[in-house]
Amino acid sequence: MDNKEIELEFSIKSGAPEKQRSACVVVGVFDNRKLSEPAADIDRASDGYLSEILRGGDMDGKAGSTLLLHKVPKVLAERVLLVGLGKERDFHEKAYRDAISSAIKTLRDTGSMEAAITLSEIPVKKRDTAWNIEQAVISTHDTLYRFDHHKSKPNEVRRPLKRVIFSVSRRGELKQGDAGLARGLAIAHGINQAKDLGNTPSNICTPEYLAGEAKKLAKAHGFGCEILDYAACEKLGMGSFLSVGKGSDKPPRFIVLKHEGGAKNAKPVVLVGKAVTFDAGGISLKPPAEMDEMNYDMSGGGAVIGAFRAIGELGLKLNVVGLIPACENMPDAKANKPGDIVTSMSGQTIEILNTDAEGRLILCDALTYAERFEPDAVIDLATLTGACVIALGAHPSALYSNHDPLAREIEHAADHAWDRVWRMPLWDDYQEQLKSSLADMANIGGRPGGSITAACFLWRFAKKYHWAHLDIAGTAYKGGRDKGSTGRPVSLLVHWLINRAARP
């Protein structure tokens, strides 16, 4: 939101909804006008006022519907907002998050500066109070997020929402609620940082800009930070990474972040994020349509920075390294050409058949660089392939791994974060598609299984540790007229790191 934090105060309370002294109290109504428990409490206190309104046909509880009531009898809040929850048997994670979003949108649009939201009391199958509160905080931030820093007249909210109280059904749940609130705020701040970076246009968000943002974050949270320039990368032999940026006048940067929250000798986990700050495709030029969205090709690197923001706020007792190879992929006389052969940091040679398959060329050197940390595990994340979008759409990120226990950890974290993944095959059979007669490998394997062969390419550089790859091409941003960064998979990464930190 204009690269500033949303100024919003959150708190957790328990108590009767009709006794909440607030500008607005928010309650849910299921399909066919069935009242949620807090709504039923208000109905009883008001001598059936809500039931009478519903019988009149003003609202039926369909998902996404809202109805704002003023001066409900015997209720201390000035207004009561009814939010449709849909069918009770279908009220799962998505329906819960959507209900919170609908409530926040209506509160924003009706000028409510304060609200007590009871939707957080409604049970979501297999989820606890901490989950409800965490997701409510994240959904609230997501709904209120704006990026209008580059508009001459930003849209001002006349009476912005300033205070939100999430309710829990029993006082004994307050501790859980507070834990969910702290986690939700850290994750929301990390997501917002990733969104801001993704939404910043590429004429501003250059590799040098990203490096500067990493330095600011490191200073704010006491992280170690090292920025490797072209000469340093060349000295390390990062021929594959450096080849991608040759066609740009924006010099590449290799960003290293370190959070040393664990035991001194404990092996770190490493997060590697692709950060192509603009991807024109190079000589294999992309078609003009939708090329404007290619500033989002740094979303992997942005998510690593966002995750570091969250773990800094949480003070995780874990050693974490972030590696962000940042560059532009542009067409120029110096740019990579189809048929060129480059030598990676690992010493393996790569025939570049398509210069638009550049993400793997920068990630492979980052994966080799990760070896020096003797990592406990490595996760790379990248808007890597359009093939992934065709395969899975915009809902799950694709997950590949050379270690089944690590893959299960990530799946568990993704489910809890509601930042879902779908595991894809990483079979040796696909390696045949990467054969080259002139080099150790080609950088593409043809159209069939394009996301899989891209992962198979990366696997060749991750043999010395437990590794996972997340292809976030379909999940990191939304395209079209309403284009914008989603901040995914910051939530997934943070939950995975929290679980790692909790290990004995």
User: What are the structural domains of the chain?
Assistant: 9-169 (3.40.220.10), 191-501 (3.40.630.10)
b or e along 282-308 (b: 16 or more beta carbons within 10 Å of the residue's beta carbon)? bbbebeeeeeebbbbbbbbbbbbbbbb
**pLDDT tens-place values along the chain, 504 residues long:** 334 456 799 999 999 999 998 999 999 999 999 999 999 999 999 999 999 999 999 999 999 999 999 999 999 999 999 999 999 999 999 999 999 999 999 999 998 899 999 999 999 999 999 999 999 999 999 999 999 888 888 777 678 899 999 999 999 999 999 999 999 999 999 999 999 999 999 999 999 999 999 999 999 999 999 999 999 999 999 999 999 999 999 999 999 999 999 999 999 999 999 999 999 999 999 999 999 999 999 999 999 999 999 999 999 999 999 999 999 999 999 999 999 999 999 999 999 999 999 999 999 999 999 999 999 999 999 999 999 999 999 999 999 999 999 999 999 999 999 999 999 999 999 999 999 999 999 999 999 999 999 999 999 999 999 999 999 999 999 999 899 999 999 999 999 999 999 998
Alpha carbon of residue 79 to chain centroid: 34
Q: 412: which 2 tokens?
A: 């568990």
The Cα 351–Cα 339 span in angstroms is 6
Q: What is the pLDDT of residue 2?
A: 39
**Which active-site residues does the annotation give?**
286, 360
Q: Pick the closest to residue 7 from 104, 141, 97 (CA basis).
A: 141
Residue with tokens 């609230």: 140
The Cβ-side half-sphere exposure at 423, using a 13 Å CA radius, reads 18
Per residue in 404-449, pLDDT (tens digit) is 999 999 999 999 999 999 999 999 999 999 999 999 999 999 999 9
Q: What is the pLDDT of residue 504?
A: 84
Q: Is 201 helix (H, G, I), strand (E, B) or coil?
A: coil
DSSP E strand stretches across 7-129: 9-14, 24-30, 34-35, 66-70, 79-86, 114-117
Residue 40 near residue 122, CB atoms below 8 Å = no
CA torsion through residues 442, 198, 227, 406, sign:
negative
Residue 122 near residue 41, CB atoms below 8 Å = no
CA separation (Å) from 373 to 262, 321, 363, 369, 501? 14, 8, 16, 8, 18
Q: What is the pLDDT of residue 6?
A: 61
**What's the pTM value of the predicted model, to 2 decimals?**
0.96
The Cα 201–Cα 252 span in angstroms is 17
Q: What is the pLDDT of residue 1?
A: 36
The length of the chain is 504
Q: Both ends of the chain: CA-CA distance in Å?
A: 39
Estimate the crossing angle of helix 299-314 against helix 207-221, to 10 degrees. 10
Q: What is the pLDDT of residue 153?
A: 81
